[in-house]
Structure 1
Amino acid sequence: MSLTWLETEGGPFIVLPRDVLSHWSGTEGDYDRACEVRGLVGVLGLPDGAEALVLGDEPLSTAYLPDRRVLVRWHYAESEEGVVDIVLAGLPTAEWEEGPVLRTAGELVMFDAAYFGTEVGTLAESIILALGPGHYRVDSASIQPDDLTCFRVHRFVGPA
Structure 2
Amino acid sequence: MARCADPVVPGVVRWVESAGGPLIAVPEAVLPFWAGADGDETSSDYDRACDVAGHAGLLPVGDTRALVLGDESAATAYLPEHGLFVRRRPSGPEDPSGPDGRLLAEVPAVLDDAVWAPALEWRVPGPLVLFDAARPGHAATATGHVRVELTPGRYGVSAAYVPTGPWAGLRLVRVGAPAA
Length-normalised TM-score, structure 1: 0.90
Paired with 1:145 and 1:11, the residues of 2 have a C-alpha distance of: 23
State the AA in 1 paired with 2:118.
E
Pick the structure with more helix per residue.
1
Q: Secondary structure at the match of 1:118?
A: helix
Provide the C-alpha distance between the structure 2 equivalents of 1:78 and 1:57, rounded to a whole number of angstroms.
23
Q: Which runs of 5+ in 1 are unaligned?
A: none
Tell me how far apart the structure 1 counterparts of residues 101 and 167 of structure 2 sit (CA, whole Å): 13
Cα displacement (A) at 1:139: 0.9
Residue 72 (structure 1) shift: 0.4
Q: What letter matches 2:78 in structure 1?
A: Y
Give the C-alpha shift of residue 152 in structure 1: 0.7
* 1:92 Cα offset (Å): 2.4
Larger CA Rg, structure 1 vs 2: 2
Match of 1:34 in 2: 49
Q: 1:23 aligns with which of 33, 39, 48?
A: 33
The match for 1:105 among 122, 125, 134 is 125
CA separation in 2, counterparts of 1:7 and 1:46? 21
Deviation at 1:81, TM superposition (A): 4.3
Does the alignment pair 1:156 with 2:166?
A: no
Matched ranges for 1:107-122 at <5 A: 107-122=127-142
* Aligned counterpart, 1:140: 159
| Counterpart-to-counterpart distance in 2, 1:11 and 1:100 | 22
Higher strand proportion: 1
Specify the SS of the correspondent of 1:83.
helix
1:71 aligns with 2:89: no
1:62–1:71 Cα contact (<8 Å) kept: yes
Cα deviation for residue 159 of structure 1 reads: 5.5
Residue 125 (1) aligns with residue 140 (2): no
Residue-pair matches, total: 158
Identity of aligned residues (%): 38
Q: CA deviation at 1:91?
A: 0.9
Q: 2:110 aligns with which of 83, 90, 95?
A: 90
Task: Verify the 8 A CA contact 2:52 2:68 in the aligned structure 1.
Answer: yes
1:44-77 C-alpha deviation (Å, 9 max, x unpaired): 1122x21111111001111110111100000145
Distance 1:101 1:13 in 2: 19
Q: For 1:43 and 1:145, how far apart are their aligned partners in 2? A: 27
Length-normalised TM-score, structure 2: 0.81
